[in-house]
Each structure stands twice: as structure tokens, then as C-alpha cells.
Structure 1
């Protein structure tokens, strides 16, 4: 009788311990919303050893290897598709919803293949990145460091969607607002009446850029502690990684127009007043952006270029994200991006990407009327900038030109 009772006690304690262990492991892989019912975007097909070989090599004393094994157990070999889907978690749904939320089928069967031209375009862009990263003639700070050496604060532009296995590195002034909207819809991080928001354009702008709406790499340390970098590498290996870029000089013009030709109190106080004092011979610029606009005062594009080239600017603080180089935001020599979109081919690239991710039946890339800065305007904007200053600016952004296949703007640099 005593032996039987002792046995039951051990069974209960053992079960409790296993449940606790599973909860801890579950949190470590970031599946906090129990969304394993949604397929993860397939990564590259990797050949798997026969079962007898896996049995011999699967056990290691490393806890990090155990984490890898836990992540892998939910994926079919080579497909990225869950092996044991979990039921939908309805705990966060509101009683206000008129009808229960039914998960959408997020795999779409296409009857026609992706155009060969689009596939070739991506292959060329990925190959160019690899060639430039291995080319010793292309030199820029941080190029040869390892991913482990990238400071945590420099990983804040990598947004992770665990539902679909996507990592997006956003670049300001490259349609990042709309891509952030897409990521919010896909991750279902915004609820409306208890139901995930499905319309990207219905997401308010203040929420689009609210950091709490996005799970970025720099937040891994708080959640995962010393295992953060390892889990980043796991996701980088398995998830589909994409980035959108544009002509570096056109991006600078767009940033200037948006932040200094429009009323922006924050950018006026932080940057415009500095430019006016140092380069516009205004030792006491107006205190607010409203006062400055009332008297017609704002830094010129030439002042902005001077600010970028001034060594003191970087000494005081790193470049603001709106004009920081893409290689500093997204680390293309440490992260092998699966998809490189260009703003100049945004419509085709967006359609191709959403189809590649198998979410084009879930969300469409927003098509809005935008006042795009055209590359044909470059010469007009640089008219007041001395030729030697233009060349110095090109050197500052030359890595972005070469990494992403943008031609050297000789018409501007050789006048």
C-alpha cells in the first residue's frame, strides 16, 4: 500500500516538473501566443541525415543545442511546416466580436509560376551583396565583424514575425511605414474588437511607428538573457529575411524634405537648430518650429549636407535613422538576406515578396498616393552644393551605392 502511494506521488511530481519544463522552453522560443497552427514560411531545403544518424548525433550536453532541438521538433524536415498544429488560442478575443475569429488559410496555391525576370532580379541582387561583402575594395566600418560582435542597440531595425517566419529590416524613407503595417497585420499584434486588424491602411500612423507593436532583435536580451544571440541565429537561419532600399542620394533628399521642409518640432529642436547655428550664421535661431516657419527660417539642403559631413556630428551621436547608412541599419554582410527589394521597383517587388512568403492572400501591399522624391531631381537639389562636397558625401554613402547596385551619380559628381 505504501509503495503504491509513493509511486503515485512520484508520478504526480514528475508530471508537474515536465509541465513546468515545457512552459519554460515554450517561452524561450518566443511562441508566447501559441500560434503553431499557422505554417511558418519555408526556409532553404537542407538535406537531413537518415534516422539512424540523427539518433547518434542528436544528443549533446549543450543547453543551446537543446533549444535548437526544441525549435526543430515543430518543423517538418526541409519544409518549415508545423508537424503538430496547436488549437487556436482565443483567450485574447473580446466578447464584442460579432463572430468567432477563424484562422485564415495562409498557404496559397498558385497556378502560374513567378516570372523568370523577377527570380533573376533577386538572384542578381543577392549575388551582388555577396560579392561586395567579399570584395576587399569595398571598405566600411564594421564590414568584417561577426554577427556576435554587433552591439545590441544596432539590432533595433530587425522586426521578427514568428507566426510566418519572417524577419524584416526596415529602412526609413523606403516605404517602411507600409511594410511595418504589413508586419503588424501578419503578426496579429493589433486587435480591433478582439479580432486581429486585417487592413494595413486602417492602422494609425502613431501605432505603426510605436516600438511596442514590433518584436525586434534588440528586445531579445530582455526576454532570453544570455541565450538571446543564439536564438537570433536560429531565427536568421530558418526565417525568410528581407529588406527594401533606394538610391542613397534620393533617400537623403526625401529625408530632408520630410523632416525639415515640413513642420516637425522634434527634428527642428534636435537637428535644424544645430544646422542653423553652425552653418547658416544664425547663433540664436527661433525657439520653435512654428516661430521659424513664421519668419521663413529653416536649414537648406546644403546645410544638411554640411551637417552630415561634419566629423563633430558623429562624435556627438550616431546618425539619425532617417539618414543613417543602410549598411549600419541592416548589416548586409553579417545577415544573408533572402529578398532585396528596391523602391524603384516597389510594386513588382512587393507582389513577388508577398507571394514568396505565401501571404499574398492574407494582405496586399498598400497602394497610396505618395509624393515620391524622383531621382531625376537630384541635379536640382545639388545645385547649391559644391562639387567637392558632393564627392565627399558620395564617399560617405558609397558602400550603400555599391552593395545594392546603384550607379555612381557621375552627372552630379563630375560637374
Structure 2
């Protein structure tokens, strides 16, 4: 009896030690999976198909079912989503407190929002599309040509050199990855470029990720999303937020998602984009851009020692920077000494890093409607969302000569050098009329 009671503490100690080893071993194995899962055949666990919850609005209407859709597909779960859930749990307390939680209400935007779990109810959707014809060969060839051109310009044999061309993905600071929006539900990464239909593409990403609710259910029509919410950073999970969520695993997870997900961006003629940015930010009353940029332009180049204090006062007095002032501001060496270019006129190669990220789809604003339709088919989400039809009152290339009429030749030449990488990478011809060639 005495021997039994003496051995009992030993057995309890061994049992406790065994449980500790089991727990530590389990955590170690899970971490190994996180680090090496892409090397052990995980490719088949995540396909670029819609991965969604049981919302009946996502089911095909009766009599119009997609023959390729299998009922059991809804039971599949993204492997990366499982990893996200685990790492969030394992690194509890490290998440970005400003980040929007799916289904929550963005700070200060409580209108028509609800944090309650959406009810399972039928929401009418468009009929599921069944494409009987493949994407046209010329459209595929156009994409191949655009992507090959980027590879050629980025290669070491290319005659064009520009900052950051030869760095690796690991060399890119986290703060420069803030334009890469990730949708884990559908395996999509979108690099948004301001003044290139990015408002509507952000709307698409909100609908796909279901990061914003109205009356307890995700938005289904992109145009129903209020514009002030579209650019709310809490609604978009971007690469620069990975560090706060995943810590030391962030770069590896970025690389996994870059490898597995479909990556796309949209671009436009660089000079036309500058004209569009000027029209939008300085020809309209924009208090933020007036105080941050217009006042600087007026002081440096407009001979205004004391510009009006507000955009309202400035517009009332007919005071605003001219397009020539904007160009002088871009060419001034002091501009980027004060701060990096604003995203609305920053070069695309600095926003989206095409030499470090192998994009699967390169769209252009000049062919927006057909490129958008092709991309949504490639992503297999054209049954979920439609890209809003573009309007035709946009800045176009034919306006360049008029806009640059008062810009001296030397300034035009320097401006082209500043944006030459974007011209060359994305196949835009050198504006010979502006440069007198």
C-alpha cells in the first residue's frame, strides 16, 4: 500500500510530462506544415474556384445549374484559410486592431451595417453562366504578349534600368506592398493602381471577399457599395498587413499565395494617367489634396507666398495650380526628398513590382470592358459578380497634345524619363508628337 502511494506521484508526473510532449509535438508538426506545405503536394487542396459558405444566394437557380459544379465542392475549405485561422489563434493578440473583421462594421461607418451573423436566406442572384465557347485565341495571345514584354524589360539583358529593377521580392519593404489586395476566398491578388478603374475593382474585391455587409448580408452588386467605403483600408487585406497578423511567417505566406493565387493589375498610358490625376485632384475641390500638394505647388511655382487657407476659399478666388505647376512639382528633386510620390502619380512599377511578381493577367484601361470580362471568366467568378460597364467621359490619349501644349520640351523629355519604365514595361509607345521625334 505504501509502495503504491509512493509511485502515484511518479505516474502523475510522467503522465503530465507525456501530455506536454504531445502538445509540443503537435504544435511543431503544424508549424512544419505551415512552412513546408507547398512542398508536400498541397497544390490540389486549393483550386481557383469559388470557396464560399452556405449562402443560398450562391447556389445556381433551379434549372440553370452549372454542369461543372459539384454539390460537394461547397464542403471544400481553402488550406490557406485553415492556416490563417491557426496562425491567428497561435499568435493571438498580434492582429492589427484597425483591420476590418469580416462581417463587421468599419470604424465610423455604421450606416446599414450589422455585426450580427447573416441569416440563411435566399437572395436572388443572376443565373449561373455556362460558357460553351473558350476564350478567343487572340485574347489569350494578347495576354501572353503583355506578360512576355514585362519579362523582357525586367531581364538583365534589357537596356532599360530603373530603381528596384534587380531587387528580389524579399528586398521590397512591407510599406511598399500596401497595394496588393488579397482575397483568400477565391485565390485572387489584385494590385490596384489609382486612376486605372481601381474604385470599381476594389468594389469587386469587396463583393468577392464579403468583407462588408448590408442588412446582415454581403453586398452582391458592386455599384451598391457606397463610394466613401470603397477606399476604406480596413475593408481590404493587403500584403503590408501580413506582418501584424503572421509575424515571422508573413513573407513565406506571401510567397505561397503569390505562387498559388491568380494575380492581376490594370494599367493605362502613363501621361494620360497624370492628366487624369490632375483633373480629379486639382480641378475639383479636394481639401486634403489642396492642403497637402496644391499649396506647395502654388508657393513653389505659382508665385503665391500665402495661398488661400482652404480649397473652398481657393476655388472661390479662382486660385488653383495649373497643369504646368503639377508637372514642375513632379520634376522637382525636392518633391521626393520631402515624401514619396503620392499613389495617384507614383509609377506603376513602384506600386506593383512587376519585376518581382509574375502577374497572371495584365489588363489595360484602353481595353477595360473586354479585359474585365475575360479576367472574371479566368477567375471563375463571372457567375458571382459583373464588372460595372465603363463610362466614356474619361481622359484619353488624344488629349495629350492639348494638355502638354504649354509644357516646355525639356520638361516633357524629363517627364518621359521619369515614367519611361512604365511606358516600356506595359507596351505604350513613346509619345513622339510631344517629344518632336
Q: Same fold (TM over 0.5)?
A: yes
SS at match of 1:159: strand
Query: Is residue 324 of structure 1 aligned with residue 346 of structure 2?
Result: yes
Give the 3 Å change call, closer, same or farther, for CA 21–105 of structure 1 in structure 2. Answer: farther
1:67 pairs, out of 3, 18, 35, with 35
1:114 pairs, out of 135, 139, 143, with 135
CA contact (8 A) 2:48 2:379 kept: no
1:268 alignment partner in structure 2: 290
CA distance in 2, matches of 1:219, 1:146: 20
Normalising to structure 2: TM-score of the pair?
Answer: 0.77
CA distance in 2, matches of 1:201, 1:104: 15
2:190 pairs, out of 168, 178, 203, with 168
Shift of the alpha carbon at 1:388?
1.2
SS at match of 1:272: helix
Query: Is residue 250 of structure 1 aligned with residue 272 of structure 2?
Result: yes
User: CA offsets, 1:180-223, max 9 Å, x none?
Assistant: 00000001111122211111011111111011000000000101
Query: Is residue 413 of structure 1 aligned with residue 435 of structure 2?
Result: yes
User: CA offsets, 1:55-100, max 9 Å, x none?
Assistant: xxxxxxxx5664331897765279567896259x9x9697796643
Matched ranges for 1:191-206 at <5 A: 191-206=213-228
CA distance in 2, matches of 1:238, 1:272: 43
CA distance in 2, matches of 1:342, 1:112: 23
Give the 3 Å change call, closer, same or farther, for CA 129–107 of structure 1 in structure 2. Answer: farther
Shift of the alpha carbon at 1:17?
3.7
CA contact (8 A) 1:94 1:195 kept: no
Shift of the alpha carbon at 1:130?
0.4
Give the 3 Å change call, closer, same or farther, for CA 11–69 of structure 1 in structure 2. Answer: farther
Query: Is residue 180 of structure 1 aligned with residue 148 of structure 2?
Result: no
CA contact (8 A) 1:170 1:243 kept: yes
SS at match of 2:131: coil
CA distance in 1, matches of 2:25, 2:236: 29
User: CA offsets, 1:350-400, max 9 Å, x none?
Assistant: 000000000000000012535300110000000110011101100000000
How many residue pairs get aligned? The number is 375
CA distance in 1, matches of 2:279, 2:246: 40
1:85 pairs, out of 69, 76, 84, with 76
CA contact (8 A) 2:207 2:218 kept: yes
Query: Is residue 299 of structure 1 aligned with residue 321 of structure 2?
Result: yes
1:156 pairs, out of 178, 191, 206, with 178
2:149 alignment partner in structure 1: 128
Query: Is residue 287 of structure 1 aligned with residue 278 of structure 2?
Result: no
1:349 alignment partner in structure 2: 371
Per mean C-alpha deviation after superposition, the further-off stretch among 405-414 and 73-82 is 73-82
Normalising to structure 1: TM-score of the pair?
Answer: 0.81
User: CA offsets, 1:317-365, max 9 Å, x none?
Assistant: 0000000000000000000000000000000100000000000000000
CA distance in 2, matches of 1:218, 1:404: 25
CA contact (8 A) 1:180 1:208 kept: yes
CA distance in 1, matches of 2:126, 2:227: 28
Give the 3 Å change call, closer, same or farther, for CA 251–125 of structure 1 in structure 2. Answer: same
CA distance in 1, matches of 2:357, 2:183: 17
Matched ranges for 1:388-407 at <5 A: 388-407=410-429
Matched ranges for 1:364-383 at <5 A: 364-369=386-391, 371-383=393-405
Give the 3 Å change call, closer, same or farther, for CA 11–109 of structure 1 in structure 2. Answer: farther
User: CA offsets, 1:112-143, max 9 Å, x none?
Assistant: 10011110000000000000101431110010
CA distance in 1, matches of 2:124, 2:38: 25
Give the 3 Å change call, closer, same or farther, for CA 108–231 of structure 1 in structure 2. Answer: farther
SS at match of 2:186: coil
Query: Is residue 220 of structure 1 aligned with residue 242 of structure 2?
Result: yes
Query: Is residue 76 of structure 1 aligned with residue 98 of structure 2?
Result: no
CA distance in 2, matches of 1:96, 1:146: 42
SS at match of 2:189: strand
Give the 3 Å change call, closer, same or farther, for CA 15–124 of structure 1 in structure 2. Answer: same
Stretches of structure 2 that go unaligned for 5 or more consecutive residues are 52-72, 79-84, 86-101, 104-113
SS at match of 2:337: helix
CA contact (8 A) 1:159 1:214 kept: yes
2:108 alignment partner in structure 1: none
Give the 3 Å change call, closer, same or farther, for CA 344–331 of structure 1 in structure 2. Answer: same
Give the 3 Å change call, closer, same or farther, for CA 103–304 of structure 1 in structure 2. Answer: same
